[in-house]
Amino acid sequence: MFSRNYTTMKFSCITLLAITTLALAQPHNHLHHHHTRHSSSILERDEASAAQIEDAVVTVYELDGQKISHDEVESCLDESKCVVVGNQISSASTDTTTAKSAVHNLTSNTIADSERPIPAASVSPQALSELSSKPSSVKSDSPVKNDSEAIKNFVDPPKPNNLAKLKLNFPSGKIDCSHFPSEFGAVSADWIGHGGWTGVQKTPGYSLSSKVISYIETATPGEGCTPGSFCSYSCPAGYQKSQWPDAQGSSGQSIGGLYCNSEGKLELSRTASRQLCTPGVGDINVKNSHHKNVAICRTDYPGTEAETVALDALPGSTVKVTCPDAKEYYRTWEGAPTSAQYYINPSGYDIKDACTWGTPGSNIGNWAPVNMGVGKGDSGSTFVSLFPNTPTNPDGVLDFNIEITGDVTGQCAYRNGNYYRDGVISPTGCTVGVNGIAVFEFS
């Protein structure tokens, strides 16, 4: 005698897709893909039978309560409209609608990149084997194929919550300065010691009517964001902070971040943008083919100008590099356009150790050997560059090579401690124009 069980699985998609699998007492052995949610197999035997009989599997697909074909399921997956979100096992006497309603939660991974998190689909091991099989009865002597090829490379769209954060208008004057506003897209830099802020500048003489700011004091770790201060922050990969006041340092110092007012509330310092993070322009990336991670640290500018805006390029990853548009981004007190400067550290360092104000001889932080420049100028042209950190560590050397590839106007590379412009050693570094995609390849 066979005992019939129902395994109900669903997809998270533009419209809800459900899969119901009718299994006849089979102990399953399935492939694992990503982090999976495991369902226990149910094995029942006929007491009068001395032999265990292999069970058959029947798979039924439903979309919004309507049965659909296997081909329609594969089309849904191929077009990235569906993702498996789980399964539920129940007895034959259980109402299948109850079984299906029990599964609603999407379990997901996040592909590392700090600055571009895209959650990977969480796929149950049962779904991996059964999605690739046509929905039909299988003879008891026919093994169930564990073929996950149809969905092994499937990736979810970005989580709506993460995208929504970046689009939220910040409620100026409503949030305490002691609260770091990560729910509005800001990325915490806990290792700096300011409660997530990348830097804090005390400006006790500042007011909305100020044309320049004469007194600026950089807060020390542990002080946090206090009244009368500008509190700077980081954003996800591909984005940059949008806040800085019109008034800047009287002797050319840059100042940036949200303003902590006298009532201890965070205010927008640049009301032209009500979102905390603004996207960069172009398509510039870092591809890390090296066997260790590489910590890349952008100067917190405008702000303390310390190397505290972190980007962690993990081995085998490609991460977005934020490129500012000079027409839209911060300009100096003299009205000059600005670009982004990144410090490239030797491989293997954690961002909390590398993306901070370093010490002489450390070869990390502001002492990192190589700088990377990125920017779109007033002319509309985009340029990227590699150059030595001459002010602090002109003789520093990285333990990997770098080459700029893609739709660029020339050759720019760093190999074994030397910079090459169009194949010729150039002690001052190299710069190339970008007509499309540009990639800094680490190897």
Residue 388's CATH number: 2.60.110
| 295/443 same-domain check | yes
Residue 381: what pLDDT? 98
Question: What is the C-alpha R_g of the chain?
Answer: 28
Identify whether residues 261 and 287 lie together within a single domain.
no
Q: What is the pLDDT of residue 317?
A: 98
pLDDT tier for residue 162 given thresholds of 50, 70 and 90: confident
Shortest CA distance to 370 belongs to which of 339, 402, 412?
402
**115 and 184 both lie in a single domain:** no
Q: For residue 316, what are its two tokens? A: 């085998």
pLDDT per residue over 20-70, tens digit each? 333 333 333 332 333 333 333 322 333 333 333 334 444 555 666 666 665
Task: Give the residue from 391, 394, 387, 392 showing the smallest Cα distance to 426.
Answer: 387
Percent of the chain scoring above 70 in pLDDT: 64
Whether 442 and 294 have beta carbons less than 8 Å apart is answered as yes
Same domain for 400 and 270? no
Residue-wise DSSP of 338-393: --EEEEEPPTT--HHHHSS---TT--SGGG-SEEEEEEE-TTS-EEEEEEE-TTT-
Q: pLDDT-based confidence at 163, cuts 50/70/90?
A: confident
How many domains, the chain?
A: 3
Higher pLDDT, 138 or 183: 183
Query: Quick one: 178 and 251 in the same domain?
Result: yes
pLDDT attached to residue 5: 40
- Quickly state the pLDDT bin for 4 (edges 50, 70, 90): very low
Average pLDDT score over the chain? 76
Same-domain check for residues 92 and 141: yes
131, 158, 185 — which closes off a domain?
158
Q: Are residues 285 and 235 in the same domain?
A: no
Q: Is 235 exposed, middle or buried (0-12, 13-18, 19+ CB in 10 A)?
A: buried
User: Is residue 358 over pLDDT 90?
Assistant: no
Of the listed ranges 42-51, 290-299, 308-317, 389-398, the least confidently predicted one is 42-51
pLDDT at 320: 98
Task: Note whether 32 and 64 are same-domain residues.
Answer: yes
Three-class DSSP category at 413: strand
pLDDT surpassing 60 at residue 101 = no
Shared domain for 169 and 220, answered yes or no, is yes
Range of the domain at 49: 4-158
Residues 267-303: pLDDT tens digits?
999 999 999 999 999 999 999 999 999 999 999 999 9
Q: Are residues 10 and 111 in the same domain?
A: yes
Identify the domain boundary among 276, 294, 322. Answer: 276
Identify the band that residue 176 occupies on the pLDDT scale cut at 50, 70 and 90: very high
Q: Are strands 57-63 and 66-68 parallel, antiparallel or unpaired?
A: antiparallel
Residue 158 has pLDDT above 90, yes or no: no
What strand order describes the sheet that includes 17-24?
A: 66-68, 57-63, 17-24, 4-11, 84-91
Q: In terms of C-beta distances under 8 Å and separation of at least 24 residues, what long-range contacts does 344-347 make, across chains too?
A: 344/294, 344/296, 344/368, 344/369, 344/370, 344/371, 344/372, 344/398, 344/402, 345/294, 345/295, 345/296, 345/297, 346/398, 346/399, 347/290, 347/291, 347/292, 347/293, 347/294, 347/398, 347/399, 347/400, 347/442
Q: Is the domain of 131 the same as that of 89?
A: yes
Task: Give the pair of three-digit tokens for residue 40.
Answer: 């226990």
Which residue's structure tokens are 């081909």? 71
What mean pLDDT comes out for the span 421-432?
A: 98
pLDDT at res. 161: 65
